[in-house]
């Protein structure tokens, strides 16, 4: 009896491990708040993190998967499971396009010869990301940084003609949120409301200054 139990125990442990569900994932996507004329329309950013990484409340990550015929060449981190960045577009023949696509996938080989990713972020309780994110796949790159949960595209480049390449060589300025997709209803964004209030206040001061100037000129 003891011999049978000692034989079955490892098998039962393996079966139990295999029956466990895969690790949970949390997806954050870009929600545009303000477009910039120096950038193409259709900006998309999608980040997939392990549930364990999100539960920690923050993540600092910097790695480069440099694959030029040498193996192994993949960083062993397991917090960032996927990163996708692209611009929706239409090719001259009318077909759908994804310009400047960066597609990093955990334990996957780079689409080109290198993936460089830097992150210093906070997972906010309201479902937004906050911090700095940079990605470069040796063909396209971008850098976004947030203040109060509102991200601004600081710079973006590509070797491609379309997107942030020759068509939009000075890509920067668009603003938006990276929001947890598990939040089904839109979140009231205090930073965006504050930006609107500041703009209205500035317009009010400008009108008041014009009136004062007109009065003094009489």
If residue 152 lies in a helix (H) or strand (E), which one and from where to where? strand 150-158
As given in the structure block, the two tokens for residue 110 are 């780079």
The predicted pLDDT at position 72 comes to 82
The predicted pLDDT at position 8 comes to 40
Distance CA 200, CA 218 (A): 28
Token match 């994804």: residue? 98
Q: Could you read off the pLDDT of 70-101 as tens digits, one per residue?
A: 778 999 999 999 999 999 999 889 899 999 99
The predicted pLDDT at position 68 comes to 84
Distance CA 89, CA 211 (A): 46
As given in the structure block, the two tokens for residue 179 are 């929001």
Domain extents in the chain? 20-204
Indicate if the pLDDT at residue 195 is higher than 90.
Answer: no
Indicate if the pLDDT at residue 65 is higher than 90.
Answer: yes
What share of the chain has pLDDT > 70, as a percent? 73
Q: Could you read off the pLDDT of 94-124 as tens digits, one per residue?
A: 899 999 999 999 999 999 999 999 999 999 9
33-53: burial string, b at 16+ Cβ within 10 Å, e else: beebeebbebbebbbbbbeeb
Dihedral (Cα; 35, 38, 43, 49), 10-degree rounding: -100
Indicate if the pLDDT at residue 205 is higher than 60.
Answer: no
In this predicted model, which residue has the larger pLDDT, 215 or 94? 94
Any bridge partners for residue 179, and if so which? 29, 128
The predicted pLDDT at position 2 comes to 38
Q: Phi first, then psi: what are they for 64, rounded to 5°?
A: -140, 120
Indicate if the pLDDT at residue 148 is higher than 70.
Answer: yes
What does the mean pLDDT of the chain come to? 82
Indicate if the pLDDT at residue 28 is higher than 60.
Answer: yes
Distance CA 179, CA 172 (A): 20
User: Range with the lowest mean pLDDT among 31-45, 55-69, 128-142, 186-200?
Assistant: 186-200
User: Range with the lowest mean pLDDT among 9-23, 31-45, 51-65, 82-96?
Assistant: 9-23
Distance CA 32, CA 27 (A): 16
Q: Phi first, then psi: what are they for 14, rounded to 5°?
A: -65, -45
């Amino acid at each position: 009896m003891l011999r049978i139990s000692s034989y079955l125990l490892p098998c039962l442990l393996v079966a139990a491990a295999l029956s466990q569900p895969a690790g949970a994932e949390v997806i954050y996507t870009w929600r545009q708040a303000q477009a910039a004329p120096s950038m193409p329309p259709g900006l998309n950013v999608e980040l997939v993190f392990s549930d364990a990484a999100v539960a920690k409340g923050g993540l600092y990550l910097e790695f480069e998967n440099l694959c030029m015929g040498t193996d192994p060449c993949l960083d062993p981190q397991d917090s960032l499971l996927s990163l996708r960045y692209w611009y929706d577009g239409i090719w001259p023949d009318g077909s759908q396009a994804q310009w400047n696509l960066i597609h990093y996938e955990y334990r996957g080989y780079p689409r080109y010869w290198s993936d460089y990713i830097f992150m210093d972020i906070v997972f906010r309780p309201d479902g937004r990301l906050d911090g700095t994110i940079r990605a470069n796949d040796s063909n396209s790159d971008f850098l976004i940084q947030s203040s109060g949960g509102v991200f601004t595209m600081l710079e973006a480049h590509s070797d491609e003609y379309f997107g942030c390449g020759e068509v939009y060589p000075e890509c920067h300025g668009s603003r938006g949120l990276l929001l947890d997709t598990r939040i089904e209803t839109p979140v009231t964004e205090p930073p965006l409301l504050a930006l609107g209030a500041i703009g209205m206040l500035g317009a009010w001061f400008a009108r008041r200054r014009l009136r004062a100037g007109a009065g003094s000129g009489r």
